[in-house]
Structure 1
Amino acid sequence: MLRIPPTDRLSHSGQVEPSGRARVEIRLLDGVGIRSDQGVHKLKTRTQECMLAVLALSPGEPVSVGKLIDCLWSPDNPERKQAKKPASTIQTYAKHIRGALTDAGGDGAWLDSRSRPGFYLLAINPMMVDYHRFLSLADAAQQTRDPDRFEEALALWLGAPLAGLGGDWADRRREDMAGRHRTLKEHHLQALLDSGHAERVLQELHVLVEHHPTDEFLLLGVRALATLGRHTSVRAWIDRLTTLMRQIYGAEPSAGTLTHARHLTATIGQFSPSAPTVAGAPDNLLPNLSEVTGRRAVVDVHGSSVIAVQGTTLTPVLAGPAAVSVENAVREHRQVTDRVLSEGFTGRAWVLAEIDRRLAEMSGGYVWIAGDAGVGKTALAAFLVRERGWVGHFAGVSRGATVRVGLQNLVGQLVRRWTLADIAPGAMVPEWAFTPEGFDVVLRAAAERSRVAGSPLVLVVDGADEAEVDGQPWGLPFVLPDGVFVVGTYRTGHPPPRAGGNSAVVRLAADDPRNRLDVEAHIREVLRNVKERLRAVLPPELTHDDVIAALSDRCQGVWVYLRYAVEELRNGVHDVRDIATLPSGLSHYYTDTVDRWSRSPDWDAGLLRLLGVVAIIGEPLDAADLALAADADETAVRRWCHGTLRPFLAVERADSTVRRFAVHHSSLREFLNGRPLDDLGSEEDWHWSETLGAAAATARHRIVDHHLGRFGGLDAGLPRLAADHDLLTAGSGYAVRHLAGHLLDAGRVEELCRLLATGDRIGNNLWFAAHEHADAVDDYLADIAALRAHLARRTDEALAAGRKAPTLVGEARCALVVSSITSLTANIPADLVVALVKAGMWTPTRAVAHARRLHAPPARALLLAALVPLLPDGLRPPAVAWALAAARDPVTHITGDVLTRIAPHLTDVADAVSIASRVRHGGWRAAAQAAIARRLDGKPRRSLLQDALDSAMSVAGEHDRAEAVRRILPELPDDLVDDAVSAAAGTAPPREIPRPHIGALLKHATADGSDPARVDELVALISTGSDDDLAEVLAAAAGISDPDARAVLLTAVAARLPVGERPPVLAAALTAARTITTAPDDDAPAAAGRRTRAGVLAGYALPDERTTAVGHSPPPPPARTLAEILAMDDPFRRARALASAAPGLAAAEVDVALSAAELLPEEARTRALTGLVPVLGSAAHLARAAVAAPSRDRGLLVAVVTRAAAVLQGPDLVVLLRRTMQSVSRTTCLALVDRAAPRLAELAGPGFPDSLAAAIDDARRWWP
C-alpha cells in the first residue's frame, strides 16, 4: 500500500493533491515510472522517463524548456543533433507523460505548460514522489535519532535512483541521490550503535564497504568492534578498508581518520596472533615458532603469496588451464530459486527459528535439514539464499551433484563475496581450489575475512543426498572452522556421513502438525489466486474450506503433491469433486498418474520414451531436442510437454518463442529412473520400477548413440566430427556438457575412454580439438575430471579390498592429458595468438578464452591487452577488466605495458591510475601514466602528466631516462615540455651497432635455436628485412631445432607477408608452439625398450639435474639445536639450518621443523622443505610438504613422491600422487610418474608398464 499523506488542499503554491482519485506515485527509485492502485505505468522511452524525473525532482517549480533540453541531451549527444526541433520534441514527450498520468488514475493537467509559456511545471504534492517522501522521512529520522524512523525511510529505497537513465544530468543527480542515501545509512548505523546493536552494525558494514569504503564507515567499524570487545580485529578492519579504498578510489583513509581510530582504540593492545598448535611438540619450542618467523599462523588475506592456516601453509598455485574464471565458476541459481519460489513462500517461521537457534548455539558446524520427499527442502534453501544473502549451492543446477561443480560454485561465490584475490589471482579460480583439500583452505581464508567483518559465514547446500559420495557431500570439510556454518538439506533416510565438530539435525517431516498448518496456509493463498475460477466449478455442496481440508488430507503435508494437484485442477485433469478420491501420498500419486497415462494411446506412441528422456537429461531441453532423444514425433512431444506433463515439468525460456523443459522435482526423477520413494511392496510397484527404470536406461543409451552417430560413429573414429568441429555445438550443444556423463551413467566407461582417446588423421586428439574449436576446453577438462573421479573410486575400492587396481593406468592417463594442456596453453606466444586472430584463423572469443587459461597473471594480462583492440564491443569491456585484474596481481614492469595498451578502453580510470603508480620501473610507469592521462581533462590530466614526467626523470641511466622522456613528450602540456626537452636532448645518442647479416644469425639459430638473444635479433631484422631475407628465414625455419624459436620467427615473418599468404605460415608457427617437449636423442631400439620397462620413464620427463639429485646427498650433521635455528632472524639462514639439521631431529621436532619451514618465504621454503623431506615418514607430513611447494616446484614434488614411494602404504601413496599432480606441467607430471612407477606397477598388476608407455606416447602424439 502506498503511503501518501491524505490531503485535498493545495500543499503550497502550484501544488495539488488529488481528491477522490486513485493513489498515484511517481517512482524515481529502482527505475522511473508511475505507479497507482491500477498497476505500474511505464513511459515509452528512456528520454520521456528522464523528462518526468527532471520535473518530479522539482514539483511545483517551473522548469524551462532550455533546461529540459540540456538535461535530456548533453551537448555532445548525437540524439540532440538529430532532434531538429527539440522544443517540439519536449512538447510531444509532455503529451505522453500526461497520458500516463491519466492512465494511472491521475490527471494529465498536473503537467502544466500554459500558466507560464516556455516552462513546464508538475503541480503535485512532493509526497507523491518516492524520493521526496524518502527525504522527508530522512529529515525526521535525523532529528529523532530513532532507528525505527531510519528504517522507515530506508525501506523506500528499493533500488538505484534513476535506474536505466543515461546522460550527464542523470549521472550527476544519481550520484547526489546515492550520496544522500549513504549519509542517511551512516547516521542510521550510528543510531544503531548508540542503541547497543553493534553486531548488526558490523553485519551491515560488511556489505556496504565492498562498494562504498569510506572514512566514516571505517570509524563506525572500529567503534563497533571496540564495543564488542573484538580489539584484535581492529587492525585487520583498518587494513581491509584501506585496501578497498585504494582499489576503488585510488586513495587511502585520511590522516585525521586514522588518528581518530587510534584514539578510539588507545587501550587496544597490539595485534599479536598466536602460534600454530603442533601436536606432540616440546612445549619450550612452540612459543618461538611464530615469534621468530615473523609470520602469522593464520590465513594471510592481505597480499601475501602464502596462505598459512593453523600451521599448514599453502602457496596458491597459479591458475592453469584447468582453472575457471570466477564468473564461470559461479552457477546461476535463479533457475532453481525462481522455480521453487514462484508461488511464494508460506509459513516456515518455526523451521527458520529452529535453524537460527541451532546456529546460535554453535561456534561453527553443520545444521542439516532432514526432510521427506517433496516437503519443500529446496524452497527453504532457496529462501535462505535469496532473503539472507547466504552463499548457496543446489544439486539441481546443471552438473550440480558433482564435486567439481559444487566446489567451483561455492569457491566462486566466496571469492566474490570476500575479495579473495590470493585465492583467485586475476579472477581465475585455480584447479586446486575446487578440490576438497583446496576448498578447506579457501573456506578458512573466507572465514578470516568474515571474522574481521564480525559476521558468521553461512553456506547453504541443497540436495546432499544427490551429491557425489566420497566423504562429506561435495567434498565439504569434515570439521568446519570456527565462525563457519553449513545449512544443508537431505532426504530423510539418506544422511551424509557424520562430521566432526558441531552438528545438528532439524527434522522437516511431512506429518509434523506445524508443517500441515503451513501447507493449509499455502493452500488458502493459492486458492485465493484462483478464487473466481474455483467458484465457477465448485459444486454447491462443497465450501472453500472443504476444498482446503480435502487437499490437505490428500497431500499429507507433501508440498510438491499439492503443486501437482492444484496444477491438474487448473488444467481440468481432475474435477474438484474428485479431490477426496485422489491417491494418498506422493508415491501413490506418481504411480496412479503413470498408470493413467499408460492406458492412453500416447503411451506406446512415444510418451513412455519421453518419460525416460526427461528422467535422465542433464539440463532442460526444448521440444525438438526431446523429440530427437525420445525418437518421437515432435508435434506430439510439444503437445505432451504443454499438456499432459506440464504440471510435472519445470520450464525456462530459451528465447522469446522457445521454451525448455525438465522434471520439476527430484522425487519424480528418481521415480522415473525406477527408484521408488517407498519400499517396493505390491506387484504394481515392482512393475513400474522395472518399466520406468528400463525406459530411463534405454533413453540414456539412445542419447549416447544419437550423438555418437551424429559424429560418424565411435568405431569409425568420429569422421563427421573430424571433418566439421562445429557439429559438437550444433543445436543446444548438449553433447559438449553431458555426453561423457551419460556414457559413465550407462556403464560405457570403455567407450568414454575411447572417445577421449580418439585421434584424427593428423595425430590430434579429436575430442579435445573439437572442444578447443568451440571455446569449450573447460567442458573437455570437466569430462576428464568426471572420468578421473570414476577411476579413482574404482581404484580405491580395489585397493581397499586388497585387489590389483588396473584403473591406475587410466588415472595416470588423465593426469598426463591435463598436464599436457597446462603446458600447451603456456607455450603459444602472445604475438602468435594476435596474428591468428588478425588472420581470421582464431575467433576473438577463442583467443580470449585461451588468454584466460594462461597460468601466469603477467602473461595473461599482456595477451588480453594485446587482444583488446581486436575484440567486438561486447567482449572488449570484460577483457579490459580481466587484463586489469591480472596486471595488478602482481604489479611488475609488464603492468605498465598492459596499462599503456588498454588505456584507450578504460572505464575505471581511477583504479588504473592507482595501479600505474605502483609500477616500480620509472619508464614503464611514465608510459602508463601518460597513456591514461588521455582519458582525463583539465587539472587531473595535467597532474597525472606531471607524475608521468617525474617517473620518466627517475629512470636510472642517462640514455634510458632520455628514452623514457621522449616516449611521453607528445602528451605533455606546453609548460612541461621545456624541462622534458632539456632532459631528453642533453644526452648523446647511443653508439650505433653494426647491423648483423640475417644469414649469419640464421646459421646460429639452426645450430642453437634456444639462444633468446639471437632469436630476438632475427625478429628485429625481419621487421625491416627485404623479401629475400623473408624467403631465407622461411627456408631455414624447418631446420631450427627449438620449437619456441621456430614459432616466434614464423610469426614475425607472417606479419610481413600479404594477408592471403599468412595462414599456412601461421599454421606452421602454431604447430611449433604446440610442441611441448622434444623427443629424447636416442635410437629407435632404445625408445622401444623404454616402453616395456617399468619405472624408467625419465627420458620422457627430461628432468633437470636438480630434479634427479634432490634428497639423495646427505647434508652435513647439524651444528645447532632446533631452538637455536628457530631463533635465527634471517629466513635464508634458517632454511639452510633446517635442511642441515633434518637427519638428527627427534620425531616431535620434525613436526615443529616442518611447521617452521611452511612459514618461510617462497625463496627459502624450497631449500628447507627439500632437506626435511627425507625424514618425513607419514602421509600427513608428506602431503603438507607437497602443498607448501612454491609454484609447484618440480624438484620438491619429485622428492616428496620419491620419499612417499619408499615409506607409504599403497593407498596413501596413490592419494598423495593425485595431490602432487594437480596443476603441474607435463614434464613435472612425467617425473612424478617416473618416481612412483615401480610401486604403481605392483598395485596395478600385469600390463601396467606397457599401458603406461602407451598413455605417454598418446599424450606426446596429441600434444607433441
Structure 2
Amino acid sequence: MRFGVLGVVEAWIGGRSVELGHARQRCVLGVLLVEAGRPVTVDQLIDRVWGGSAPQRAAGALYSYLSRLRGAIAGADGVEVRREPGGYLLTVDPHAVDLHEFRDLSALARAAESDRAAADLFGRALELWRGEPFAGLDTPWLGATRRTLLGERFAAELDRNDVLLRLGRHAELLPALSAAIAEHPLDERLAGQAMLTLYRCGRQADADEQYRRIRRALADELGSDPGAALRRLHEQILAADPALDAAVAEPGGVVAAAAGTTPVPMQLPADVRAFTGRTEEIAALDRLLVAPGGAEPPLTVALLSGTAGVGKSALAVRWAQRVRDAFPDGQLYVNLRGYDTEQPVAVADALAGFLTALGVRGPEIPPGTDERAARYRSELTGRRMLVLLDNASSVEQVRPLLPGTGSCLVLVTSRDSLPGMVAVHGAERVNLDLLPLPDALGLLRKLIGARVDAEPAAARALAAACARLPLALRIAAELAAERADVPLAELVAELGDHRVRLDLLDAGGDPRAEVRAVFSWSYQNLPEAAARVFRLLGLHPGETAHVDAIAALTGVPAGEARRLLGVLTRASLVQAGRGGRYGMHDLLRVYAAELATGHDGETDRRAALTRLFDHYLTGAVAAMATLYPADAAAPGDPEAARAWIEAERPNLAAICTYGAAHGFHRHTIALAETLFRYLDAAGPVAEAATVTASAVSAARAIGDHGAQARALSHLGRLHRRQGRLHDAAATYRQALSRYAEVPDPAAEALVLRNLGSVDWRLGDYRQAADHYRRAWTLYEQLGDQAGQADALVRLGLVDARLGDHPQAVRRFEAALELYATLGDRFSEAYVLSLLARQPHHPAGLDRAAAHLEQSLGAVRRTGDRTAEAYALTDLAAVQARQGRLSEAAGQLRRALVLHRRIGDRASEAEALNDLGQVLRAAGDAVEARTQHGQALELAEEIGDRYETARAHHGLAAALHDTGDPAAAQPHHDRARQLFADLRVPAAPPVEQRQVRA
C-alpha cells in the first residue's frame, strides 16, 4: 500500500486508488501520515483538522472518521490505525508515504559520494511531487505544514541545481530556473544559479540582466544590495572568468566544484617546504576520513598535541593541503595564538573571521559570542568543510568553533593534551614526539644536501643540538647553508659555545631550552640592523604586521625595512605573508621580545612602540577623514580607506587593548575615539565595545574625566544596541557623573537624551521625561534648535504613551516649527507621522505619507541604514492608519531586515509587534501570532517591558482569532498586568515609536 500527501491526499492498494471519503476525513489521514509512527493526541487531531472552529461534538466526529479510515485500509499488510496511550498512531513503512520517501531520498542525495548519484537521487525525490501538499484541504495547521514542505522542496531543487551545474548539465536547467525565479525573485542563491546557467549557455548579456533584476528587486523590496558571493559571480561573468566554465566529469563520477554563489573559503597556509617524516601520524589522520555508517555521522575532531616547535602546525597544514579535495566546500583556518600571554585570539574574533569568510556581511555578524557561534554552525550545516584550529590553549577556546554538523572535520593543534576534547567531544588524539633521528637527518639532508652524508657524526650532533625539533632544525640548516664553506662540526661546536654562554639549559631538560640556543645561534649571525628589526618586531601586539608598520616600529624607511625583513625571512626567523605582511612563530616572538628587553633600553622600546602607535593612529585618522569627510572636496579613495581599516582591524583592536594595559593611554583614547563611528556602523558591535572599553580603562588610568565621559557615552550606546539596557543605563550614568566634573553641556545633553531613551525602553516614562527635560534645558542654553526639537519630540512621545494626547500634540507642533526653520526634512516628516497618529488631530495622513516617502528616498541615497529603518517603520504606521495594510506589512518586513543587520534589537522587537498588529488587521492571525511570539522572546530577553506587554496583548488577540481562547487568556492577563504596572493605556493598533537614537 502507498500513501501520498505531496499533492491530493491519496492512497493506493496494489496500484488501485482507495476511496478516502470527504475533506475532513482526508485531513485526519493527512495528519496521521505526516506523523507516521508517532502518536497524535485527540486534542491535536481536533486542532489540526478543524483549526479552531471545531463543533461541540468534534471528538465524536473524529472517532467516526477514524473508524471509516480503518475500514478503507483494511487488508493492507503492515498498515494500521490504532489507539495508543499517547493518542492515535498510524503504523506504516515510511517509504510507503511519499513525504517520508522524499525526505529520505533528499538526505541520501546530500550524502552521496558522487554528483551523478546525487542527481539521480534528487530527481527521484522531486518526481514524487504531484502538486501542492494537501491540495484542496485548508486548515491553519495544514497551511503551516504546507509552507514548510514547499520550503523543503525548494531547498532540494536548489541543491539539485548545484549538482547539475557541477555535472555540466546547465542546458536542461533553463526552463525550470525561469519558473523558479518568477516565484522566488529575491532568492540570491537561485539568481546565482540562473546567472551561471545563462552564462554557460552563451547568454552573457542575459546573465548580466538577471543580476541587474535581482539587484533592483532587493533594493526596492528590502533596501539592501546583493551579497558578496553574488557580486563576485557577476564580476566573474563580466570578465568571462574561465573558472565559470562547466566542469568535466572525472572517471569516478566526481566533478570539480564549479564557481557558484556560495563562498568557498580556502584559508589554509602554504605547505611547508621539505616536509619530512610523520608517516604514522599522517596515516592516523587519513583514517579519520573514512566516515562511519549512517546518514548523519557525528562530527570528527582530530587533536594534534606535542611540545612547542615539534611541528604540529606544519603537519596539520601538510595533511590539510593533501586532503583538501575531500572538502569541496572549503577550508577554514585560524591561528588562535593560545600561548601568547599578551594577545591570544578571542573566540568572538575568530568566529567573526570565519563568518566573513563564509560570506556573512559585517553588519549581519551577531554581537555576542554565543550568537556568532550559532550563526557559524548554521552556515556550516550541510557543507563539507575542513576547519583547522591552530595553536589552541584550552577546550573553552575551541568549543565555540566546533561545527554542529558531521559533514565537517575539525583539526586542532595544541601544546596541551586537552583531555576535555577527548572526553566530551570524542576527539581522536595524535601525539607528536620529537622527530626520530633518521627523520631529523632526512630533513637536514633535504635542506643542506650532501654535507649530512659527508659528516654523519656532525650531522647527528647537530640534530641532537636542535633537540630534533623541526623548527630548530630548519633555522640551523639555513645558517649552515649560508656558511657552506664551514664544516658542520665547526658549526656544532659554535652552537655548543652559545648554549654554554647563554646558560639556557635547565635541570628539567625542556627541549624548548635547546631551541632557544638554536635561536641565539641564528640571531648572533644576523647583521646588526636585521637583528634590531627582529628584536623590535617581537614587541608588536598583533599577529602580523605590514611592512609600513614595521618601518614605523623600527624607525627605518619602508624600503630598508623590506630589505631587512628579507634577511630575516631567509634565516627562517620571520614568515612573509600576502600583501606585504610579515609574522613570526610564537616561540620566536617570545624570544625576540626577551632579546628586546635585554638589548634595547626602556627608552628605546618605548620610542619604538610610540612610533608604531603613531603610525596606526595617523592611518586611522586619514582613513576616517576619507570615509566621513567634513566637506565634499575631501581627498582620498573611500574604498582604499575602508580596505585599510578592514585589513588592520585585528591590529587596531590589539593596539587598543595593549595600549590600555601598558601605559599608552593617550594613544588608546585617541584611536578608539577616531574609530568609533566606523566600528559602530560596520560592527561587529562586540568588537566595537572591546575597543571602547579599552578607552574607558585608559582614560580612568590617567584621570582624564572628559575622555572617560566620551568613551562611557559611546560604550552606553553600544550596550543599548546589544539590548543590554540595564548596562547601558549604568554606563550613561557614569558618563554623567564625569561630565559633572568636566562640564560639556552639548555632550551632557546627548547623554541625557540617550539615557532617557533607555528609560523609555525599560518602561520608566517619568524618569525618561525628566532626562528629556534636562536635555531640553541644556539645548536651550546652547541655542541648539535641533536639540530642542529632538527633546520636545521625545517629551511628546512620553505624553502620548501616558495618554495625554493634547499635550503631545502641542509638543510635536512646536518641534515641527523648529524643524521647518532648520530645513530638516527627515525630522519634519517624522513629526508629521506622529501628529497623523494622534487621536482627533487634523494633520493629514496623506501629507505625512508623502513626506515620509520623500524622506525614505533621501536617506537611502545617503546610505544611512538606521535612518532608513526608522523611516520605513514610520511610513508603515501611517499606511496602516490609511488602510493600506499590505503596503504597511511590506515596509515593516524591510525595516526588520535592516534592524537585524544593524543589530538594533530593541527596534526589532518593536517592529515585530507592529507587523503582528498589521497582519492581524489584514486577517492573517496565524502569521500575526508568529510575529508577536518572536517579539515576546526578544523583548523579554532585553528587558523592554512595554514591548513585552504589547507582545502578550497581540498574542492574546491572535490566539482568540484562531479559535483558541483558552491559550489566549494567560497572555491577556499578563498584558493587562504589565500595562497596569507601567501605568499606560493598552497598545493602540500601531503604536508610536521612539525617535531615532
Range class of TM-score, shorter chain: 0.3 to 0.5
| Larger proportion of helix | 2
- The TM-score normalised by the length of structure 2 is 0.43
Question: TM-score, normalising length from structure 1?
Answer: 0.35
